[in-house]
Amino acid sequence: MIEQRFRRKPRVVSIPLFDPKRAHAPLQKALEEAAVSVLRSGRYILGPEVEAFEQSLSDRLEGRPVVGVSSGTDALVLALRALEIGPGDEVLTTPYTFVATVDAILRVGATPRFVDIDPTTLMPTAEALTAATSAATRAVIIVHLFGAAFDCSELEELRSRGIAVLEDAAQAFGARLGDREVGTMGDVGAFSFFPTKNLGGYGDGGAVVLDSQERADYVRALRAHGRGARSYYSSHIGYNARLDAMQAALLRVKLAHVDAANSTRRDLAGNYHALIQADERLRELVVLTPDPESLPGHVFHQYVLRVKPGFRDVAVAHLKESKIGVGIYYPTGVHQQPLVKGHVDAELQFPETEAACLSTFAIPMFPGLTGKEQEEVIFRLCEAAEQYMRASGQG
């Protein structure tokens, strides 16, 4: 039976997985003013707005040099180039990630080497990463997953051996471990400002965080066709990977409010956790519910549940039927995708990743989501639990 607080006639609602209009509504006036200022300036690529945004990010990230680029994927590629990673080099990373993490490795000509995940954190452990190194290993890409920060301090032994740590912080802007913020824990870091991110823009955008001015200057050259200070003179094979002034201006407005938005996400996560724990069936079927009380630095880019085998498909289907936004992150490990064919050992097994791909899904999470909407989401999840229990003879 559904726990008493959820025993009611369901409402007809539509709740998106993410609603940018609601998330951005409190800043609308300031955002419009920033956009008009850029339109009137006549400077639309790089320029003062991008420089100001880079400086604001640098001020936040321990004064590290920051270079704004065209996307999170380009940020990863340029970060690898800054580390001089290329053909013949091996880069360790997780197969439980968005494909861009691995795409970036392949784009610089390096070889990805996957390390299976821990079933509770959904990220590889430092011990597993260390054990997977070989003579060819030159770097590790850490993915701060779903808003949780990986503890890069556990990789100091690898760094002492000359193996660089690149933080893929696309999903975790503002996440912290103690007094360290993601983007400052490794040798270099990469952010995405895709609209759904915690610090999301109004189009594509990204940033590379470097550990030296020399590397920052190199990335600035790479993002603009390899050009340096001399006009029409390129010393490197580069990219067209520049950040737009419009995105920089809008992101700078949002940057001043990102901590408040992240705090709201944590409050929403706490409410979800309490609602799920209040129902006996969900306590049995949901085996991983992120709890902000035990995850102090988590910023909940997504609220991802892990459930018992078989329940995921029932839950996702019922939520979709009920017009509740739901996302499966990730339905397939990158190690199983065609882009890595011929680049990785097909005989290697990643059972924890494959199990996670069959048992995890995300429910609505964004500033502006209401408590009543959260109750509706969990009510529908309780309905799915009852369906599953009856069908499996447990109800």
Q: Where are the alpha helices (DSSP H) in 140-277?
A: 156-160, 213-222, 245-255, 258-277
Task: Tell whether 134 and 277 lie within a shared domain.
Answer: no
- Calculate the CA dihedral of residues 273, 152, 204, 102 and round it to 10 degrees: -100
Task: Tell whether 75 and 143 lie within a shared domain.
Answer: yes
The strand pair at 164-168 and 188-192 is best described as parallel
- Calculate the CA dihedral of residues 30, 34, 39, 43 and round it to 10 degrees: 180
Q: Is residue 181 part of a domain?
A: yes
Q: Is residue 357 part of a domain?
A: no
Task: Tell whether 60 and 34 lie within a shared domain.
Answer: yes
Q: Is residue 216 part of a domain?
A: yes
Tell me which of 204, 221, 255 is where a domain ends. 255
Task: Tell whether 177 and 312 lie within a shared domain.
Answer: no
Task: Tell whether 46 and 15 lie within a shared domain.
Answer: no
> Which pLDDT value is given to residue 352?
97
Q: Is residue 48 part of a domain?
A: yes
Task: Tell whether 313 and 175 lie within a shared domain.
Answer: no
> Which pLDDT value is given to residue 23?
86
| pLDDT band per the 50, 70, 90 thresholds, residue 87 | very high
Task: Tell whether 161 and 267 lie within a shared domain.
Answer: no
Task: Tell whether 217 and 266 lie within a shared domain.
Answer: no
Q: Name which residue leads in pLDDT, 169 or 236.
A: 169
| pLDDT band per the 50, 70, 90 thresholds, residue 8 | low
Q: Is the pLDDT of residue 298 over 70?
A: yes
> Which pLDDT value is given to residue 5?
53
Q: Is the pLDDT of residue 7 over 70?
A: no
Q: Is the pLDDT of residue 6 over 80?
A: no
> Which pLDDT value is given to residue 9?
55
37 and 263 Cβ atoms separated by less than 8 Å:
no
Q: Is residue 301 part of a domain?
A: yes
209 and 168 Cβ atoms separated by less than 8 Å:
no
Residue 175, domain extent: 27-255
Task: Tell whether 179 and 32 lie within a shared domain.
Answer: yes
pLDDT, average across residues 9-20: 80
Tell me which of 199, 229, 255 is where a domain ends. 255
Q: Is the pLDDT of residue 192 over 80?
A: yes
- CATH number for the domain including 197? 3.40.640.10
Ramachandran assignment for 327, one of left (phi > 0), alpha (psi -120 to 50 degrees), beta (any other):
beta
Among 199, 151, 156, residue whose Cα is nearest residue 177: 151
276 and 283 Cβ atoms separated by less than 8 Å:
yes
Task: Tell whether 134 and 45 lie within a shared domain.
Answer: yes
pLDDT, average across residues 90-98: 98
- Tell me the per-residue pLDDT of 25-81, one tens digit each, with 9 for 90 and over: 889 999 999 999 999 998 999 899 999 999 999 999 999 999 999 999 999 999 999
Structure tokens at 6: 């959820």
Ramachandran assignment for 190, one of left (phi > 0), alpha (psi -120 to 50 degrees), beta (any other):
beta
72 and 104 Cβ atoms separated by less than 8 Å:
no
Is it true that the peptide bond before 44 is cis, omega within 30 degrees of 0? no
Tell me which of 194, 226, 255 is where a domain ends. 255
Stretch among 221-230, 327-336, 368-377 having the lowest mean pLDDT: 221-230
- Tell me the per-residue pLDDT of 193-239, one tens digit each, with 9 for 90 and over: 999 999 999 999 999 999 999 999 999 999 988 887 677 777 888 88
Mean pLDDT of the chain: 93
Task: Tell whether 51 and 187 lie within a shared domain.
Answer: yes
- Tell me the per-residue pLDDT of 344-353, one tens digit each, with 9 for 90 and over: 887 889 999 9
pLDDT, average across residues 322-328: 97
Q: Is the pLDDT of residue 319 over 60?
A: yes
Sheet-wide strand order for 360-363: 286-288, 303-307, 360-363
Q: Is the pLDDT of residue 388 over 80?
A: yes
State the total domains in the chain: 2
pLDDT, average across residues 156-181: 96
Alpha-carbon span 91 to 101, nearest angstrom: 11
Place of tokens 């890595």: 340
- Tell me the per-residue pLDDT of 245-294, one tens digit each, with 9 for 90 and over: 999 999 999 999 999 999 999 999 999 999 999 999 999 999 999 999 99
pLDDT, average across residues 171-188: 96
> Which pLDDT value is given to residue 13?
77
pLDDT, average across residues 316-344: 95
Q: Is residue 345 part of a domain?
A: no
Task: Tell whether 265 and 313 lie within a shared domain.
Answer: yes
Q: Is the pLDDT of residue 340 over 50?
A: yes
> Which pLDDT value is given to residue 1?
41
- Single pTM value for the model: 0.93
Place of tokens 């001020």: 59
Q: Is the pLDDT of residue 186 over 50?
A: yes
> Which pLDDT value is given to residue 10?
54
| pLDDT band per the 50, 70, 90 thresholds, residue 395 | low
Alpha-carbon span 24 to 368, nearest angstrom: 9
Q: Is the pLDDT of residue 2 over 50?
A: no
Q: Is the pLDDT of residue 12 over 60?
A: no
Q: Is the pLDDT of residue 82 over 80?
A: yes
Q: Is residue 354 part of a domain?
A: no
Q: Is residue 11 part of a domain?
A: yes
